[in-house]
Amino acid sequence: MVGLSVRTLMFAAALIVAMMAATVGRSEPLRPNIVFIMADDLGNADLGYRGGEIKTPNIDRLASEGVRLEDFYGEPVCTPSRAALMTGRYPMRYGLQTLVIFPSHTYGLPTDEKTLPQALKEAGYKTLMVGKWHLGHADKKYWPQNRGFDYFYGNVVGEVEYFTRERGGVIDWQRNGVFLKEDGYYTDLIGDDAVKLIDQQDGKQPFFLYFASLAPHAPYQAPQAAIDQYSSVADPMRRTYSAMISELDVQVGRIVAELEKKGFRDNTLILFASDNGGATSGLFAQGAKSNEEKSADVGGILPGQKPPASNAPFSSGKGSLKEGGVRVPAFVNWPAVLKPRVVTEPLHMVDVMPTLLTLAGGQGSPDHPFDGRDMWSTLGGDAPSPNEDILINVEAFRGAIRKGDWKLIKIALLPGKTQLFNLFEDPGETTDVAAQHPEIAQDLEARLLAYAKEQKPSLWILAQPGFLGAQGKTILDPDFDIDDSGLPHEKIDLPAN
């Protein structure tokens, strides 16, 4: 017992010294193991600790023992949010600001962008990923194992079916480039792999594990035993959605248990976030099959059916610039270093990379400066948000920005509109107060337009003429005036569809 006590004291002392170094001057990085758990399309109100009825005891425990980020932002949809995490830069910097990469698209996260796993690998980390990528699939140069991950097990496109890993009859499931046909449920399989990966670590090299869950993204599918636990839920789609979240929670518990078993828990930082809000429109809950194939049996939303997610108390959901689409459940858990607290300072997915690199001793790319800021002092102390403002997103046709309690949304499509909300007084964004506070609206609009002028052309918009036939040629005509769209004037070569 004496020996154990001495080791414990020595470890605690080392943490205190490292903590001081990280807070003042940062001469010595903490170099913790890092586990980032990304949920997909998770509703803001659909976790136990957020007042939901869905059973999530493992996630709830991490949140209650950690730093809850109550004003944390992702992007409106999957690809931009994951890109923001991987680069520490707003997606509009490299053309990923609009919608998601479709199976027919050939673009991906540009290879000149230095990714989080690349930077951590340079800093001496083992980099591991399981789950959904969605940052490029048509060329292997976009695949996770070519963007900094030493190991990858999962799918590279967007959603797939949970039991077959198929989309449109094609299996999208691989381990390090070798495609697999396996039995099992998606969430269980990536959980099994994550546990094995943690077990394989020897503690001599820090590791980064990116656990990118597909759940609870459509198609809404879960093991029947898990669904039966929610037999009291009347809506069958909500019943399955609830089971999907509980199944994710089970895997979170297994990851934490394995960290404890290996003796890694005291030196492991766990981050949890959803990429965007839950889908409240059927447009964003289609599932992995085509419209002709879709039925309730495969977990897609049918015409007139309401998606099962809840983003209360926020309005709207996935795809929207309203809070329900972009303000997401998030927390950071590291009990050995961070005390439980609730942070209501505005933070964004782009803040994760610079923060983790500070802790890990890694570096970004000088010619691709971060938009995100190191939020460590906000997590561990009473420091305000390191961001003067937060660009929620900007595209050729819309944008949103937040500064303090104020949020501005601008829709540029004719007839257009600009709205201002006080999120402290009106988190549901029910009352536009732009007319009552014109000076604040003008300031935020000027900031948003300044960002808009810096955006690169949307790769999604550029890709669409290739699918539109003769009508698509118009916007590629260099004599066609499209300044306001954000598209380039010069003729471009689009890949064949």
Least confident piece of the model among 27-31, 222-226, 325-329, 383-387: 27-31
From 134, 137, 217, 348, the catalytic residue: 134
End-to-end Cα, the chain, rounded Å: 67
Give the pLDDT of residue 290. Answer: 40
Give the pLDDT of residue 287. Answer: 67
Q: In whole angstroms, what is the distance from residue 73 CA to residue 480 CA?
A: 36
Q: In whole angstroms, what is the distance from residue 245 CA to residue 379 CA?
A: 26
SS (H, E, C) 115-178: CHHHHHHHCCCEEEEEEECCCCCCCHHHCHHHCCCCEEEEECCCCCCCCCCEECCEECCEECCE
Give the pLDDT of residue 471. Answer: 42
Higher pLDDT pick, 356 / 469? 356
Q: Average pLDDT of 327-352?
A: 97
pLDDT higher than 80, residue 473: no
Q: Average pLDDT of 415-433?
A: 97
pLDDT higher than 80, residue 115: yes
495 confidence band (pLDDT: 50, 70, 90): very low
Taken in order 153, 159, 163, 164, the sign of the CA dihedral is: negative
7 confidence band (pLDDT: 50, 70, 90): very low
295 confidence band (pLDDT: 50, 70, 90): very low
Identify the H or E element spanning 442.
helix 438-454
Does residue 199 sit in helix, strand or coil? helix
137 confidence band (pLDDT: 50, 70, 90): very high
Bridge-based pairing of strands 33-39 and 207-212 is parallel
Give 37's strand partners: 211, 272
pLDDT higher than 60, residue 102: yes
Q: What is the dihedral of CA 91, 135, 278, 425, to 10 degrees?
A: -20
Assess whether 134 carries a catalytic annotation.
Answer: yes
487 confidence band (pLDDT: 50, 70, 90): very low
Assess whether 105 carries a catalytic annotation.
Answer: no
Do you find a cis peptide bond into 313, omega within 30 degrees of 0? yes
Q: DSSP letters along 312-355, please?
A: TTS---TT-SSHHHHB--EEEE-TTTPPPEEE-S-EEGGGHHHH
From 78, 105, 217, 348, the catalytic residue: 78
Q: Tokens at residue 261, please?
A: 């078993």
CATH code, residues 390-454: 3.30.1120.10
At 195-249, the pLDDT tens digits run 999 999 999 999 999 999 999 999 999 999 999 999 999 999 999 999 999 999 9
Orientation of helix 236-261 relative to helix 186-200, angle to 10° = 10
Identify the H or E element spanning 392.
strand 390-394
Does the domain at residues 31-380 carry the CATH identifier 3.40.720.10?
A: yes
Could you tell me the residue ranges of all domains in the chain? 31-380, 390-454
Give the pLDDT of residue 28. Answer: 75
At 437-459, the pLDDT tens digits run 999 999 999 999 999 999 999 99
Name the nearest CA neighbour of 428 among 39, 42, 40, 44. Answer: 44
Q: What are phi and psi of 449, to 5 degrees?
A: -65, -35
The mean pLDDT value of the chain amounts to 88
Name the nearest CA neighbour of 161 among 126, 189, 193, 199. Answer: 189
Give the pLDDT of residue 435. Answer: 97
At 308-319, the pLDDT tens digits run 999 999 999 999
At 368-383, the pLDDT tens digits run 999 999 999 999 888 9
The predicted model scores a pTM of: 0.89
Give 410's strand partners: 399, 418
Residue percentage of the chain with pLDDT more than 90: 80
Give the pLDDT of residue 312. Answer: 96
Beta carbons of 37 and 328 less than 8 angstroms apart? no
30 confidence band (pLDDT: 50, 70, 90): confident
Q: In whole angstroms, what is the distance from residue 277 CA to residue 329 CA?
A: 8
At 58-81, the pLDDT tens digits run 999 999 999 999 999 999 999 999
